[in-house]
Every structure is written in C-alpha cells, then in structure tokens.
Structure 1
Amino acid sequence: CFLCRRYLQPPGTWIQCTLESRELLALCLKKIKASLSKVRLIDAGFIWTEPHSKRLKLKLTVQKEVINGAVLQQVFVVEYIVQSQMCEDCHRIEAKDFWKAVVQVRQKTLHKKTFYYLEQLILKHRLHQNTLRIKEIHDGLDFYYSSKQQAQRMVDFLQCTVPSRSKSSQRLISHDIHSNVYNYKSTFSVEIVPICKDNVVCLSPKLAQSLGNMSQICVCIRVTSTIHLIDPSTLQIAEIDGNTYWRHPFNSLFHPKQLEEFIIVDINRVQEKKKGAGAGARSNKHTLAEAWVQKTSELNTDHQYFCCTHLGHILNPGDLVLGSVLVVSSIEVGGVCVNTCCFSLQILIKKSYDRTKRQRRRNWKLKELERDREGTDTDDERQYQDFLEDLEEDEAIRKNVNIYRNADIPVESDTDDDGPPRISLAEMLEDLHISQDATGGEGANM
C-alpha cells in the first residue's frame, strides 16, 4: 500500500514489514513456495537494493539429491517487483468513510475543566494512539475509531475515571446478502455528571440521610472516579459514585463566575463538634474555623458576614477568599416544601491569589491532544488557567497527571511559603525530544 506502506499477505491480510526484515523475508518466500517444493532451502537473505527502486532481491541457496546420492547445491537470485496499490483501510480514509465507531463525551456545564483533566489522563495512559480523529465541540469531545472494540475500551476507561453513564446505538451501513455480513457504525454517548470542583450543591434529604445525616448544603472539593463532598460547618465528608448520583441527581447552586470576593476580617479556629449518632467520617486535611468576612465591593460600609468554614488551615486575617451568599427562603420537611422566613448562608469556597504572579512563577507545562476545534471560545484561556490552579492546589489530582518542567522559565527557590501553592521540582518530568541527544544537542539522523 503506497499510503501506509503495508504489504498484502493473501488473501486479505495487510502486515507491517520493514525492508530486509524477517517478516518481509517470510512473505517473499511464500510467493515461491510451490517452486521450492522439489528442492531443499538451505539459506536465504536479502541483497541490497535502492529503497525507491520498487525491487527486492533474494539470494537463495538450495540443495537437491541427484544420481547415486550425490547432492547438488546451487545459489541463485530471485528478483521481486513491488506493485503499489491501496489497502481497504486507506481507501476508506481517503473516501472520508473511515470510522466505524465514535465516542461522544458530554457534560452539561458552562466550563471545560473536566475535559482538561480527561485530556491529561488520556495522554498519560496513551489511549489517544488508536483514535482516527478527535473533534472538540462547545460541550464535549468526539473520539473516532476504526473498530467498535477500541471505542468500547475508551468508554470503559471513562466510566472508571469520572462519574458517568453511557448508552450505545448502531446504524446499518451495508449488508452482503451472499455472505450474510453486516457493516455497522456504532455510537457511544457518555454523559459526565454536571458537578465539578468548588461547586456548592444541595442534596436531597434522602441522600443526605444515607450519607450519615450530612447537611444538605455541601461543597465539592474534588471529582475523580467519585464526587467528594464536605460539609463546611462540620467537616463531615462523603463520596458519591456515579450510580448513586443518577439515582439521586443534584445540581450546582451557582456558576463559578457568580463567586464573589471576600476579605477575612477575623478568623478563629474552633474545636470540632462532637459527632452525632450515625454521623459519617470527618476530614483530617481541613480545619474548622469561624470567620468574619466582608465583600471587597463593600469595603466602604460596615456590612460584615459571619460564617463557618472548612478553610481554617490556610486562611488568615487580611486574606482574600472566594465565596457566595445564599438566601434560603424555604426548607423541605417530610417531603413537603414549607415557606419560612428568609435567611442568608455564607459559604467560603477557596482562597484567592494573584493570578498574574502565579502565571509568572509557573515553571511547568502540560501536553495537549491534537484535535480539531469547532470554534474557540474567548473564555477558554481563563478556564484553562483555572484548571492549572486546581492542579497546584490539589496534590491528589496531580498524581494522575504527567507534569513537565518548562525549561524556558528558571527554577525559583521553594522557600517562599507565603505565596500561592506551587508544584515542586520532584513532581515534574523532563520533556524528552527525539531530535535531541543526551547532551542536549541535535541528535543524529535516523
């Protein structure tokens, strides 16, 4: 095949062979198997020919017993002519009808941080090597494959990586009535839960009770193969898998763009409250604190808010923090919605740092998938920076991602503990380029 450089092994198998390889030698010998049936093959090897000459030459040594037990040995050269054609796979690619299965990954959110995380997981596990094409659209990714088995492998990987559900369908393309062979195109639809890191969610009473009498208002601190939630007023934590979520679905109460910036006026670490009967586990990585905060947009007023927060281990007076004020006007009692007097609930989500300084000190980088983009959103760069900041702040997420050192940015000292979280040099990999040798210079031509 003049496109993929594979050789035809009759009747319909195409194999990959390099010049003067054992595989190509075996293929050539099969072509003259009938002619060698009356002699014994002793030795066979290639004679060098110009790679572009479309010629292959074999030097063969054969023996045959003649009169009265005498053995005659002869050495001769067999010349092959390479005829170029197009294999079936390449023909389908040229006809734009090359894929047999597609995996459509979707998430009903207004940002792409989950897909940035999936991109790094796919690169780390090299699941993109079998894809024919990757297409990015406004609400997800499409992966095209040449076989249904490869697409099913991607679906299994996604279900083990993020909370999701899938369904499949297939469309008949052609049918051979003589051989009873059907040609289908398969479509796998994967829907990821619409919950991401730093989302504030409201659980149903039944689900909250099953999680150890957890509060209905929780903060999502991480999304891996499960959804990790924390109650900011008690530090109680819980994990929700995909099956549990689809039985008791819930959504985020607001979009990350709706977060407001607060300044810490005063904060006091408090002793954790005593566990109640049937209460779930509590986080050992967070510290419960009571804080007085004020909106940065209301610094000229005396309006302050009091709240309990799970960020007591990183917050100090004067720090900036992102949060939201929820106004609750009704509660659910016994499955019935009962109107009550309105009250506000302040929730602090994450500490805020100077983004410009973080970008300037970031001496690492990530690799990206080669994909076709349907259109670029003006907000994509900000969302990508949010994802990079999540990696710096969460060590558990970083363990699943290959992080490479950026040689263009000098390495700074890690003794500055007052700044934003940083990734240590020990967690980074060296970005290897085949065109460079071990000394950093240009390597020899291959």
Structure 2
Amino acid sequence: MAQFGSGYDAFMHASDTDQAGGRAAAFVESVPRVLCCLCGVLIDANPAGMCANCLRSQVDITEGIPKQSVVYFCKFCERYHVPPRNWVRCELESKELLALLIKRLKGLNKVKLVDAGFKWTEPHSRRIIVRLCVQKEVFTSTVLQQEFLIEFVVEHLQCDSCKRDAANMDAWTAVVQLRQKVDHKRTFMYLEQLILKHNAHEDAIGMKNMPDGLDFYFMVRSHANKFLHFVTSVVPLRHKTSEHLISHDESNNTFRYKYSFSAEISPLCRDDLVVLPPKVAAHLGGIGPLVLVLRVAQNVLVMDVRTFRTAEVSSPYYWKNEFGAILGSRRLTEFTVLDSEPTGEILPGGAGSNKNIVVTDVTVCRSADLGMVDRQYFVRSHLGHHLQAGDLCLGYDIENANVNEDLMTGHKKLVDLPDVVLVRKTYPKRNRARTRRWKLRRLAMEEQQQAAARGSGASNEEDEHELFMQELEQDPEMRSHVNLYMQAKDPVVVAQDDNSLAMRDDSGAEDEEEDEDYPDVPVTELLEGLAITEATTGPEPGGDEL
C-alpha cells in the first residue's frame, strides 16, 4: 500500500449559526481529486500524481535485496554458520534465527525495515521463508511500503569442531602454557575465576589441568594472542613463543605450523614475605627491604612491615629484577590476639585501595602455645581496624623460621628481624561447605594426571579450593573481582513417628555452629545460577563446570 504525504489544499468555510445568543464556526474540509497520469483513474491528489498500483509498477523499493540466499547448517551439532568462523545454535522460527538470517541480507540499509517474520514451511524441506515489510521514500513526501518473501536454502556444512571430532585428530594450532613456580595453586584458582567472569576462554577448543599449571588450546593463533593479552593484564607474566613445522605443500607453497606460548607467572603471591634486593629497594624510594605482598595484579603492591609504606612494582621492572619470597602462605602460623591498642597513626592504603592503614600495637601469642607456654609478642601491625582482643590472626613466626641467609646479604637495615609479622585476620577452622549458600563456576578441564597417581593430589587440591573459598568470604575486595552464584540447597527427606515424610533443609544442621562475627557474603553480591546444557560434562564438588 502506498502512503502519501499531506500535500493537499484545504479550504475552510465558515458559517454563522445562532445558539443561545452565541456564534459557532463550522469547518468543512475538502480534498481535490485528479486523474492518474498513467491509467486515468480518479484519485486524491498527491505529489506523485499516480495511483498506488501504477506507483508500484514504476518503482521497486526491494531492488538490490536478494530474494534467495543460502544458510549453512551443521547437522551434527545442529548449529548455524555465522561468517566468518562462528557457529550458533538456534531453534526453527526463533527470534535468534530471524536475526541471523536478516543480517545475511545485503541492501537492507537502503530501506526501513518495518516488520519481519517467518512463513511456515515443512521442517524437512530445507527451506526457510522469511516475510519482510519495508518502507522507502520514493518521491517528495511520498513513502511506499512493500511486503515480499525471501527464501533461504539450508545447505549442510560440517563445522570445524565436528570435523576434528570425526577425524579423531588433535587439530589445535596454538597452545598457551601457563606455569608458576610455586607449591600451591592459589593463583590459578583466582585466575580461573577471572577467565570465567570475562569469558576469556570462549575461543579455546580444549583445556588441560597440568601438575604445575594450565594449558589452553586454540584453533587460530590470533585467539591465543588474545587470551595471552588478557592474562598479561591481570597477573605479572612473561612469555616465549616457539613454532613447529607440521606440513609443507610444495605445489602451492603453503606451510602449516603449530605455535606454543610458554607463559610464566610471577612466583609472588598475596601474603608472601619478601626481602627486596638493594637495587629494587632503592628504586622504590628506600622502602623495605623486608616487605609484605598485599596484592598481585598486573603490578605487585608491597608494604614495608616496619614503616607500613606501600609501593607498586610494575611487571616489566619485576622481570628485569627478579626476586622471590623467603616465606610463603603455607608457612603462616595462627596467633591469638591478647590486646590491641591503636597508636592513632593512619596511613594511605596504597594504589587501588580505598581503605587506610590503621597502625596498632598488638600483643599476640601462638595459638598452639596458649595456656602452655608464657611467650608473648608485642607487634606493631597494620590490621588495626580488624583485630580486637580474643581474635585470631595469621602471621609469620620469623623467630622460629629458617630463612635463606643469602637473600639478606647486602642489606644494612636487616640487622635484626621482627619476631612476628602479622598478615591477616582469620577465624576458627571449620568445614563451612555445608552451610555455604553460594558457589563458584569451574572450567571443564581435562586432567593430565592418571587416576591412580592422583590420589593424594586430588584431595590436596580440594583442600586448597576450600581455603580459597574461605578467603573470598573474608576479603570483600578480592570477592568483587569474581562472580559468585547462588547455591540451591536440596531438601532432605526425613521419616517421622507417624510413618509420614517431612522435608527439612540440611543447611541448618544443628551440629554446625557458625561464628557470629564470621563475614557473610551478602545476597546482593550473588548471581542467579545459569542453565548449563551442552558444554557441561558434569558438576564437580565445590562448583559447576562450564
């Protein structure tokens, strides 16, 4: 149907009428009628001077839009091809499929799309018919609207993943090997959550959990470079690239390589105790040399354990002047706070931190020696806004620790070391997994180790994961960088005396006594659980796999 602009002459006539001593104006509107310039039919006047049928015969606004096209469909994984290399799953006559088909059409940018929909076809006909309604201004103040059909022929094409599965071959082109020279996997657990939050693994065709790190496999080298760039932005990283020639076709002079990116993550982790080399200490403004690692991101934030001054070590500078920790998180000792008295000194918390450091004089003793050995330590700590008398905290018992003396050579300030360095507040050790109402997503990684050789290693990894989750509960700043999901508690069926069944929630078990001051994760920080279907290989303890 043709829609015409308002280019008409209106004539208004006024007539006077007497009603209750007043006068009212009546307006009469008339439209001139003319003959169509082509067929001579009497029509209302319009700028084109033609009727709707003649206008359609003279102007085709769908010119340039193909009336037939091809869409590729993989019958093995039931996905449609989105050029150049993507594949998406869409149901028949769904809005996702409609958007995919419309995006494949050329020439739609010259018209205005008013309506779109499907016309029913037999599901096995391998034909998809789309109905489009478009508008376009053909003459001045004259808009023509036209409806037409486009036929899409569905042709079968095997996607790259199905080709690889059918050929039963390892078709990766690039691999990123992440490694860290430490005896725990705290960094990789945190890195895994960052990868999931930012969906950095979307291009990976395979992942393997190695004894000393993670491997990510990609079909395209650029995808590996993109993933490596993301990891470099969240942890201090350096990498080396190597290539291996797989095949060479002399007829067309083509080569096929496999690329390996060996990436090493800094061995420094949060809560590590470090002795800075003299050159690095001077570069950071005379800080240290005994410092505590507060945060590890793209840069490393360290704090002097005596003056509580903070400084950032950039990733490039660190790799030019490497240094390690003298004591790691596995050497932390539990202390009991006997007294806490603020000194009134408040210092800035460092770059990227919105909290100040409250300097406090704390009296502590080893929890294992409480009531047995009368040995107390007087410590000046940066945990003034956390510790009260009776609280528990973790720290380094330097007095009874064996450290590498070679790391301390050349430092005039390290004449005497502090007996204790407090690191963070902690809580009584309990199994909080049963009462936890949130969970983490996990990557579906292939285990490299054999099942027989994994025995104790698997249990150690589960313990480390539980400690990592407790660390998230106790640290809101660290928790803000990961996604937490609501944990659905399944009710437990119990039998009653009258042979009836009752439902109770096992999360409220009476044998689990929670600390009143234990930090609780607010519900506002939790996300709704996602429906995992195709990519799920089965849930693991502590979280769902993606």
Query: Compared with structure 1, are the counterparts of its residues 323 and 24 closer, same or farther at alpha carbon in structure 2 (3 Å cutoff)?
Result: closer
State the SS of the aligned residue for 1:152: helix
Instruction: Give the letter aligned to residue 324 of structure 1.
Output: Y
Gaps of 5+ in 2: 1-73, 105-117, 130-150, 491-504, 509-513, 534-546
2:362 matches 1:309:
no
Shift of 1:370: 0.9
For the residue of structure 1 that corresponds to 2:258, the secondary structure is strand
Q: Which TM-score applies when normalising by structure 2?
A: 0.62
| Matching residue's letter, 2:517 | G
Alignment pair present for 1:423 and 2:539:
no
Aligned-partner Cα distance in 2 for 1:142–1:248: 27
Pairing 1:43-82 to 2, within 5 Å after superposition: 48-51=121-124, 56=126
Matched, 1:398 2:398: no
List aligned pairs for 1:65-214, cutoff 5 A: 90-93=162-165, 94-214=167-287
Within 5 A, what are the aligned runs for 1:5-16? 5=78
CA contact (8 A) 2:346 2:358 kept: no
The number of aligned residues is 387
Deviation at 1:143, TM superposition (A): 0.5
2: CA distance, partners of 1:418 / 1:17: 48
The verdict on how the C-alpha distance between 1:24 and 1:49 changes in structure 2, with shifts beyond 3 A counting, is farther
1:98 Cα offset (Å)? 1.3
Partner of 1:243: 316
Partner-residue secondary structure (3-state), 1:208? helix
Q: Which is greater in Rg?
A: 2
Q: Deviation of residue 85 (structure 1)? A: 7.6
Shift of 1:171: 0.6
Once the 2 structures are TM-superposed, how far is the Cα of residue 311 of structure 1 from its aligned partner?
Answer: 1.1
For the residue of structure 1 that corresponds to 2:362, the secondary structure is: strand
1:331 and 1:337 in contact (8 A); partners too: no
Mark the CA change 1:274 to 1:331 in structure 2 (over 3 Å): closer, same or farther: farther
Does the 8 Å CA contact 1:47/1:57 hold for their aligned counterparts? no
* Native 8 Å contact 1:234 1:272 kept in 2: no
What is the identity, as a one-letter code, of the residue corresponding to 2:368?
Answer: S
Q: How does 1:255-274 map to 2 (within 5 A)?
A: 255-272=328-345
User: Residue 257 of structure 1: CA displacement?
Assistant: 2.4
The 1:187/1:374 distance shift into structure 2, 3 A limit, reads: same
The reply to whether residue 295 of structure 1 matches residue 366 of structure 2 is yes
- CA gap 1:56/1:162 in 2 versus in 1, 3 angstroms: same
CA distance in 2, matches of 1:340, 1:425: 47
Rounded Cα–Cα distance in structure 2 between residues aligned with 1:161 and 1:171:
29
Partners of 2:263 and 2:240 in 1: CA distance: 7
SS of aligned partner of 2:288: coil
Is contact 1:215–1:231 with CA below 8 Å preserved after alignment? yes
Instruction: From the superposition, tell whether residues 7 and 237 of structure 1 become closer, same or farther in structure 2 (CA, over 3 Å).
Output: closer
Identity %: 34
Tell me which residue corresponds to 1:285: 356
Change (3 A) 1:46 1:400: same
Q: Is this contact kept in 1: 2:248–2:254, CA < 8 A?
A: yes
1:241 shift after superposition: 2.0
Aligned to 2:502: none
Q: 1:141 and 1:58 mapped to 2: Cα distance?
A: 44
Cα distance between partner residues in 2 of 1:112 and 1:287: 31
Rate the CA distance shift 1:332–1:138 in 2: closer, same or farther, 3 A: closer
Q: After superposition, give the CA deviation of every residue in 1:139-158 in whole Å (9 maximum; x if it has no partner).
A: 11100111101111000000
User: How far apart are the structure 2 equivalents of 1:242 and 1:341?
Assistant: 30
Q: Secondary structure at the match of 1:356?
A: coil
Where does residue 347 of structure 1 map in the other structure? 421
Pair 171,419 (structure 1): closer, same or farther in 2 beyond 3 Å: same
Query: Is residue 289–residue 413 contact of structure 2 (8 Å, CA) maintained in 1?
Result: no
Q: Distance in 2 between matches of 1:244 and 1:58?
A: 59
Query: 1:283/1:238 Cα in 2 relative to 1: closer, same or farther (>3 Å)?
Result: farther
Q: Is 1:373 matched with 2:447?
A: yes
Q: CA deviation at 1:302?
A: 1.8
CA shift, 1:360, in A, is: 4.9
> Over residues 16-45 of structure 1, what are the superposed CA-to-partner deviations in whole Å (9 max), with x where a residue is unaligned?
797687888999xxxxxxxxxxxxxxxxx9
Match of 1:39 in 2: none
The equivalent of 1:388 in structure 2 is 469
- Counterpart residue identity of residue 229, structure 2: D
Where 1:97 maps in the other structure, the secondary structure is coil
Q: Offset at 1:3?
A: 2.9
TM-score (norm 1): 0.74
Equivalent residue letter for 2:531: H
For 1:141 and 1:402, locate their aligned partners in 2 and report how far apart those are by CA, in whole Å: 21
Q: Secondary structure at the match of 1:253?
A: strand
Relative contact order, CA 8 A, sep 6+: which one is greater? Answer: 1
Match of 1:442 in 2: none
The residue correspondences of 1:11-50 to structure 2 (distance < 5 A) are 48-50=121-123
1-side partners of 2:85 and 2:367: how far apart? 69
1:323 equivalent to 2:404? Answer no
Q: Residue in 2 aligned with 1:363?
A: 437
Change (3 A) 1:418 1:207: farther
